[in-house]
Amino acid sequence: MTDWNDKTGAAKEWFETLRTNICNEFEAIEREAGSDASFAFTQWQREEEGNPDPGGGTQGLMKGKVFEKVGVNVSTVRGNFSTEFAGQVNGASPESPGFTATGISLVAHMANPHVPAVHMNTRFLTTGKAWFGGGADLNPPIPYAEDTDEFHAAFRAACAGHNPTYYERFKKWADDYFYIPHRKCHRGVGGIFYDHLECDDDAAFDRNFAFTKDVGQTFLDVYPKLVRRRMESDFSEADKLQQLQWRGRYAEFNLVYDRGTLFGLKTGGNIDAILMSLPPEAVWT
């Protein structure tokens, strides 16, 4: 019989390892730019009435010369969904509202408008079911076809190593999900997005966990290359304005449509960690 507590622990350990590796790489980029910026880590504890072990997480935040604001958060929480929210979550219901969730969430807003902003998240949840979800998407204020193609090629290769249908399915899912209906535009140039990769047994867990690990590792392999390619580019006031305008679109999506933001708020997560995805500065014109 599958021990889902052990599985949650294994996923948590990987997410923490990935967090460490990403933070180390991002700090190395800051050093290359002549900056001594480093991540500051803040631990937080979730509270839920009647729950002696609701969990919590660690928020990692850095503001540097290259990364104007980057957050890398890991959390592991457990408890019960509200009656209202339970019916909206895979495998949960008002009659069976219990859950555990562990995951890593990353958003980077860059100082130079030629460097693309980025989002990455992977997670493992158990309710009445158990599943993985996540993905990564690129959000350039000034798109470069070379960067977009390289980002997508990396995730296409990662998907191909697990299932020949994954890339096209998950690319379309990202295109559909990261869309701002009231603006009639996409948030960025896409990537992959997946959810509800269900784990009915140990073999399914191992298979979906391996894919989720590859998603995180692929992000770590490809995104720093794009940052280094663009971080010393000259930019104009018009370039900066374009960046700030697109940050406004990013904020609109995250506050109005993003399911991860809603999940964090509905489960009593740390407000600062949930809203770290918001840019440090934006404009609406």
The conformation of residue 96, written as its DSSP 8-state character, comes to B
Mean pLDDT of 58-62: 98
Active site residue 119: yes
Q: Say whether pLDDT at 237 is over 80.
A: yes
Torsion angle (degrees, nearest 10) of CA 88, 94, 95, 99: 60
Q: Say whether pLDDT at 1 is over 70.
A: no
Q: What is the pLDDT of residue 89?
A: 85
Mean pLDDT of 186-197: 97
229-to-18, 19, 27, 110, 178 alpha-carbon distances in Å: 23, 23, 16, 13, 25
Q: Say whether pLDDT at 235 is over 80.
A: yes
Could you tell me which CATH number the domain at 4-18+58-277 has?
Answer: 3.40.1500.10
Instruction: Name the band, by pLDDT with cuts 50, 70 and 90, for residue 18.
Output: very high
The proportion of the chain whose per-residue pLDDT surpasses 90, expressed as a percent, equals 85
Mean pLDDT of 188-205: 96
Mean pLDDT of 141-165: 98
Write the pLDDT tens digit of every residue in 65-114: 999 999 999 999 999 988 878 778 888 888 888 899 999 999 999 999 99
* Catalytic position from the list 119, 152, 182, 196: 119
Q: Is 52 exposed, middle or buried (0-12, 13-18, 19+ CB in 10 A)?
A: exposed
Mean pLDDT of 29-47: 97
| CA–CA distance, 261 with 85 (Å, rounded to integer) | 13
Beta-carbon contacts of residue 120 (< 8 Å; ≥ 6 apart): 104, 105, 106, 134, 135, 136, 215, 216, 219, 223
Query: Long-range contact list for 149-157, CB < 8 A, 24+ apart?
Result: 150/222, 150/225, 150/226, 151/189, 151/191, 151/222, 151/223, 151/226, 152/190, 152/191, 154/218, 154/221, 154/222, 155/191, 155/192, 155/215, 155/218, 155/222, 157/218
Greater model confidence, 83 or 254: 254
Write the pLDDT tens digit of every residue in 105-122: 999 999 999 999 999 999
Q: Over 234-247, what HEC string results?
A: CCCHHHHHHHHHHH
Contact 137, 171 (CB under 8 A): no
The alpha carbon dihedral of 85, 257, 275, 191 has a sign of positive
| Average pLDDT in the chain | 95
pTM of the model: 0.95
| CA–CA distance, 271 with 57 (Å, rounded to integer) | 12
Cα–Cα nearest to 143, from 60, 72, 226: 226
Mean pLDDT of 180-185: 96
